Chain A
């Protein structure tokens, strides 16, 4: 066990610190997390890319910083931004999911044309995967594309397309080979959201906000070269992307930040003149959550160390999404309980605490438990790939066709 970083990395940490001290102010008031990036946010992002604190390993020729992959650099950058609570620049599905996929599987032309404007916030992307009848069983998706001349013609419906209402482009899974087995009939296409025939309808969720959309396609024409990978290979391409998404959910630094908020709440908020923290029942519940957060943080350190040592263990990776989303939900649930009746206040109510964020996150985190592969799908994956248990047998043919 050696938790120290080599000197060159400690030097790098000092560099990051110095940068954040000098320039951190430029990250303030750059706009909300959701929505198109403002000019201020784009400027901040460009500065981060230029200095290697965003898109660090994306090659220079595609607009990135072009550093050699080094996990410790990424870890140090993350730690320092978290420590100072400074905004990381632009996030979103374009940068986190599409760009890694293009780097892995895109054509040279796609990389040249799309990566730079995506990472600088000029092109905003949304993801078109799920459909009303293809959720956990994503590969059964039915949105069709047939070829007419130089075009794919798309018809069908997508759901859960977050940010579709302000996106420029969509990466989308469509069925191009209706006669092939379901996993081999899918293609991964890129399309512009202003193509005629696309209709985006906001999907208001239980939080009261429209975080998602439904997107309808009627004879939407997309050039046949707007495909990543080959026809029928879309499932494989999408799995490369999903891999990036699964890693994204369950960041232990976020869990830690949330726990700190809960601890502050319990020290600040009083009931009958006593701090919430003075109540041993509340304290016990808090400590249970603290142990889980500590475990999650240390677990991610173990995974980091594994990758540094190039020793690969599957099971530790498979549990992160399941554990992280439930833990986040449980912390938010406790925040509400700590507020008692005040915990149900919402929106613009008098006496509202923390701008209603405990309620918002409590509800939103249910979305995270479900999205990106539900907890039940996660448990299937853990038991099958992690523990070597068999898949649920397919129903008998007669039942399937009825």
Chain B
């Protein structure tokens, strides 16, 4: 009985931590954000050298053959360091979609390329969760038309994986005729979200037509757990930064961290963050090993960490006082990343409604 990370996972944790702390200091995040770039070749290549894009891809396709629990160890560190890297879609969501819904040929074609870091994939499934702005792609006479409004990691992607209704996933080459991409500007510049518009694009569906409903659900489950892990990492850092600042900043001839009002803010953050650790780990483990529990646990992890994240991001910012509100300390990068994660693929209320359905309460 061991609830927690294995020795291998702890090693992975240390490796990725070392990499992001060295290669992605806040200055680098700032530079990229100023250029509105959510992709950086050095960071990408570094992650690739660590073999991280194949983390969930079986060894027969050139990957590491690991699981979601391993992948979220990485994702948490990307959140900790607000790393601009399209890891979520390429390393987690696309492999899951291909493995669960793709034909043998499609797996053979794409999985080795993804594992080798040769292709960047963006995933658009938001309209399955919540349809807004008439988002949605339809299939007619083997042609795809319509738009997918919130495509994650779309800014520098080569390949697009898009939901077509609730039961098909299409593989679309970004350069194919009839594809246009409009960048969306979000508060969080570390993730490139785009709108993809298709106008009579030649359709390549994942697997057989009408069979991808389960694959889409699993992509969404994985995304929810990974987004929770990303926010959890960001929460930890916001708390650590708030505590560190409170031990430096003096007012009334004392460090502000000696005032109970400030200490209690920090204690409340810690008390809310700590149990999220077990929740996120277990949600990932459920995806890997306990399929009956996985969808519900993914919902709980996503919704709960979103709420904790909102509390922590607002509270930590207040510990910094006026400085927290400025660009100078850069706390807002974490604040915004948590904010984006909260909304992606369903805000808390939407996700909880799904949790109610999953338990037969609706």
Question: Interface of A with B (CB < 8 Å)?
Answer: 1-6, 9, 72, 277, 280, 283-284, 287-288, 290-292, 294-296, 298-299, 301-302, 304-306, 308-309, 315-316, 319, 322-323, 376, 378-380, 382-384, 386-393
User: Residue B1 contacts which of A308, A316, A322 (CB distance < 8 angstroms)?
Assistant: A308
- How many B residues touch the partner, as a band? 35 or more
Nearest CB on A from B70, distance (A): 10
A/B interface sample: 27 pairs, CB < 8 A: A1-B285, A2-B1, A287-B303, A291-B304, A294-B297, A295-B300, A299-B278, A301-B278, A305-B2, A306-B4, A308-B2, A315-B274, A319-B271, A319-B274, A322-B271, A379-B264, A379-B268, A380-B267, A383-B264, A383-B270, A386-B270, A387-B263, A389-B246, A390-B255, A390-B257, A392-B260, A393-B258
Interface assignment of B314: CB less than 8 Å from any CB of chain A: no
* Contact of B271 with A323 in the complex, beta carbons under 8 Å: yes
State the majority secondary structure of interface residues on B.
helix
Q: For A288, list chain B residues within 8 Å (CB).
A: 303-304, 307, 352
Q: B258 touching A391 by the CB < 8 A rule?
A: yes
Asked if B4 and A379 sit within 8 Å, CB to CB, the answer is no
Convert B246-270 into 0s and 1s, putting 1 for each residue whose CB lies closer than 8 angstroms to a CB of A.
Answer: 1100000011011110111011101
With beta carbons under 8 angstroms apart, the residue of B264, B266, B275 that contacts A323 is: B275
Stretch at the interface among B162-170, B207-215, B336-344, B353-361: B353-361
Q: A283-B356, A298-B282, A392-B258 are in contact. Are A309 and B263 (CB under 8 A)?
A: no
Q: How far is the CA of A384 from the CA of B304 in the complex (A)?
A: 26
Q: Within 8 Å of chain A (Cβ to Cβ): is B320?
A: no
Known: A277-B361, A290-B300, A305-B2. A298 touches B279 (CB 8 A): yes
Chain B interface residues (CB < 8 Å from chain A): 1-6, 69, 239, 243, 246-247, 254-255, 257-260, 262-264, 266-268, 270-271, 274-279, 281-282, 285, 288-289, 297, 300, 303-304, 307, 349, 352-353, 355-356, 361-362
Chain A's nearest CB lies how many Å from the CB of B350?
10
In whole angstroms, what is the CA distance A210 to B279 when docked? Answer: 39
Q: List A contacts of B289 (CB < 8 A).
A: 1
Q: Which residues of A contact B268 (CB under 8 A)?
A: 379
Which partner residue on chain B sits nearest A308 by CB separation? B1
* Chain A residues in 8 Å Cβ range of B304: 288, 291-292, 295
Report chain B residues within 8 Å CB of A391. Answer: 258
Report yes or no: B1 in contact with A4, Cβ–Cβ below 8 A.
yes
- Note all chain B residues with C-beta closer than 8 A to A296: 275
Q: Are A298 and B275 closer than 8 Å at their CB atoms?
A: yes
When the two chains form their complex, are residues B2 and A1 in contact, meaning their CB atoms are under 8 A apart?
A: yes
Q: Would A3 and B1 be within 8 Å (CB), given that A294-B300, A302-B278 are in contact?
A: yes
Check B279 against A382 for contact (C-beta < 8 Å): no
Contact A315 B270 (CB under 8 A): yes
A9 CA to B1 CA in the complex, in Å?
10
Least CB separation from A299: chain B residue: B275
List of 7 A-B pairs having minimum Cβ-Cβ separation, nearest first: A298-B278, A379-B267, A383-B263, A305-B3, A295-B275, A382-B267, A291-B304
Contact A284 B267 (CB under 8 A): no
- The answer to whether A305 and B266 touch across the interface, beta carbons within 8 angstroms, is no
Least distance between B8 CB and chain A CB atoms (Å): 12
In the assembled complex, the Cα of A319 lies from the Cα of B353 at a distance in Å of: 29
| B-side contacts of A388, CB under 8 Å | 243, 247
Nearest-CB residue, chain A, relative to B69? A1
Chain A residues positioned under 8 Å from B257 (CB to CB):
389-390
In the bound complex, do residue A1 and residue B6 qualify as a contact, i.e. CB atoms below 8 Å apart? yes
Q: Please, which residue of chain B has its CB at the minimum distance from the CB of A316? A: B274
Given the interface contacts A287-B355, A299-B278, does A309 sit within 8 Å of B271 by beta carbon?
no
Q: Which of A2, A291, A304 contacts B279 (CB 8 A)?
A: A291
Closest to A382 in B: B267
Please measure, in the bound complex, the distance between the C-alpha atom of A2 and the C-alpha atom of B297, giving whole angstroms: 17
* Residues of chain A lying within 8 A (CB to CB) of residue B281: 1, 298, 302
